[in-house]
Amino acid sequence: MRNVADWLRSALNKSRVSGLCSASVWCALLQVSQVSAQAPAQSRPSIFDSSAAVEAGYTVDRLTNNSPNWNSQYFKAFIPLKSNGLVNVQFETVERFGLRDQMVSATYAYPLTFGVIAFDGSYSDNPNFLAKNSVGLGWNGKLPAGFGYTLGVTERNYSEALLNLYTFGVEKNAGQFRIAYTASIATLDKSRGEFAGRAQAQWISPGDNRLGLTYSQGLEPTVIEVGNLSTIQNQYIQVDGLCWFTNTVGLTAAYWHSKEGDYYQRNGGQLGLRVKL
């Protein structure tokens, strides 16, 4: 596992241009297909040809240590660009520990012949507990028989420390079902890597109604209080779904339970309204 972490860390260190992702990794992945920009629609995932959509919603967490509730309000826009990729932008206001942070994040994904490359980043102008900024590079590769794999590197700059996150995952798509497992290694200020794993199962209907289950466990860097970013043992379970009431209006919802080491537990939920444009 240390060899995997060393390789991913090396990939990240070699992949920075002005603090962002590397031209070398970008070029290596683009060499997979130099003609993919002109690829027909059937050669790329259908999400790139779907309708644009916007969503607004609210989340809340109730803590078991009698601390004030956490909550957030968000707005996001999803813009597919067919052969030119897709863009996902989100604005979020988050309240935790009696303080408020605001964040903007964006993801750009581009389809290639053998997979999808994605870049993401975020920025917070008053980071009490969120990362001041982050940047990431991801690859979702296709394999035969409905299998796939994912690789990712992310760097998050907190007020307390620098977090590097390296991920590797495998997935299987079978008809209306998808199952996936993702392993992650996280380091704080280049300390020893800590391991966590996440398993997911999802059902997607022909009408794009969705129901999913996520379970994760392991050692993860967590802001357990303002000014305290620590690696602790986490356990997390979530049920989520999407239901379309009409062809253009749908409801997203989720419920989760999280155990943050010996500090506290959280019971939370999310509710959002999604509209196709």
108-165: pLDDT as tens digits: 999 999 999 999 999 998 899 999 999 999 999 999 999 999 999 999 999 989 999 9
The CA distance from 128 to 236, in Å, is 23
Element of type H or E holding 32? none
∠ at Cα 9 (8, 15), nearest 5°?
90
212-240: pLDDT as tens digits: 999 999 999 999 888 889 999 999 999 99
Res. 11 pLDDT band, cuts 50 70 90 = very low
Cβ–Cβ under 8 Å, residues 160 and 227: yes
Handedness of CA 157, 188, 13, 117 (dihedral sign): negative
Kindly give the residue spans of alpha helices, DSSP state H, lying in the chain.
Answer: 2-13, 23-30
The CA distance from 139 to 47, in Å, is 16
Instruction: Tell me the whole-structure pTM to 2 decimals.
Output: 0.82
β-strand partners of 267: 62, 257
